[in-house]
Amino acid sequence: MIIDFRVTVPIREWVDDVEEAKNLFLNSFMRGYAESAYEVSAMYDVTAESMVKAMDAAGVTYGVLQAEWALGDYRKLNDAAYQIARKYPKKFPRYYLTVNALEDDDMVKVVEREVKERGFSGVNFQTWAQRMYPNDRRLYPVYAKCQELGIPVTIHSSINFTIDRSIDFSRPVYIDHIACDFPDLKIVANHGGWPWVNELVAVAWKHKNVYIEIGAVAPKYIGTPGTGWEPLMVYGNSLLQDRVLFATDDMVPWQRCVDELKALPLKDKVKEKWLGLNAARLLGL
């Protein structure tokens, strides 16, 4: 079983046209992503249908579909996630909403309504986009509601490529604060914490409710000495082997990610856990 823990809503599925999508990236604080190592330009052509076909071809059994707010209307993103999950229920048995804490909407009520009325089962946070730290007290009522509902949260915990927002907003140490205050909240740290991998490993070692997800990173780099991923390779192969989650974030092709992860110098049983068993347990699949 292979589970992609982080499949984000394709741009085409929540904007009106491709040119609008390009303008969103190229004329905003997100334009740094278009200039990064990632082939963001290719993402404009991705559809839900093409995405599912690529997942099937790579042998990915399930995906956790996540709305991811950085700019635009967070409501459109949630609507798109819901519609895609309804169209492909076998591929996306779990789907997460997103929130924008700077809106006037009561985000606690938004989360409760989306979970109870439309079946969302988690919440995705991109706090750097709002120039907020994950442990900002304005987010605590939402964390409390997620803990009450028994649903996980995913939090961006790595570098961002914006032109005007500090990468410090996403340091894993802030997840330590949240885990201390919400010990029963399942917290998934997105993107493996790079360049603070050692810090995230320490937080996950300390808190049994913290998981490390490796989306948007080609696995071959995780296994390459000198890249900064060495702590994850050591502890993810031993003490933390039950809390590492495979993901692509749609940023690296599925087949490439699966092949490269299988080639990592990990125990065979650990590879199975990373690829899907850990996620299945967390998701109840």
Tell me the per-residue pLDDT of 170-205, one tens digit each, with 9 for 90 and over: 999 999 999 999 999 999 999 999 999 999 999 999
Delimit the domains of the chain by residue range: 3-283
Q: Is the pLDDT reported for residue 38 higher than 70?
A: no
* Residue 201: closest CA among 168, 170, 223, 230: 230
Of 35-44, 78-87, 174-183, the one with minimum mean pLDDT is 35-44
CATH number of 3-283: 3.20.20.140
Residue 93: phi, psi to the nearest 5?
-70, -15
Q: What is the pLDDT of residue 22?
A: 75
pLDDT confidence of residue 189? 98
Q: Mean pLDDT in the chain?
A: 94
My answer on whether omega of the bond before 195 falls inside 30° of 0, hence cis, is yes
Tell which wins on pLDDT, 131 or 250: 131
What is the band of 39 on the pLDDT scale with cuts at 50, 70, 90? low
Q: CA neighbours within 13 Å on the CB side: how many for 144?
A: 10
Token pair for residue 213?
């997800």
In this prediction, residue 53 carries a pLDDT of: 97
What pLDDT sits at residue 25? Answer: 72
Q: How confident is the model at residue 217 (pLDDT cuts 50, 70, 90)?
A: very high
Query: Which has the higher per-residue pLDDT, 38 or 146?
Result: 146
Q: How far is CA 77 from the centre of its chain?
A: 14
Mean pLDDT of 204-230: 97
pLDDT tens sequence across 99-147: 999 999 999 999 999 999 999 999 999 999 999 999 999 999 999 999 9
Continuous segment of H or E residues that includes residue 153 = strand 153-156
Distance separating alpha carbons of residues 130 and 249, to the nearest angstrom: 20
pLDDT at 241: 98
Query: What pLDDT is attached to residue 34?
Result: 65
Helices (H), the chain: 18-26, 31-34, 40-43, 48-57, 74-87, 107-118, 140-149, 173-181, 197-206, 219-222, 230-235, 254-262, 268-272, 278-283
pLDDT at 19 over 60: yes
Q: If you ran DSSP here, which 8-state letter would residue 164 be given? A: S
- Cross-sheet strand order for the sheet of 153-156: 3-8, 62-66, 94-98, 123-125, 153-156, 187-190, 210-213, 244-245
What is the band of 16 on the pLDDT scale with cuts at 50, 70, 90? confident
The structure's pTM equals 0.95
Number of H helices, E strands in the chain: 14, 8
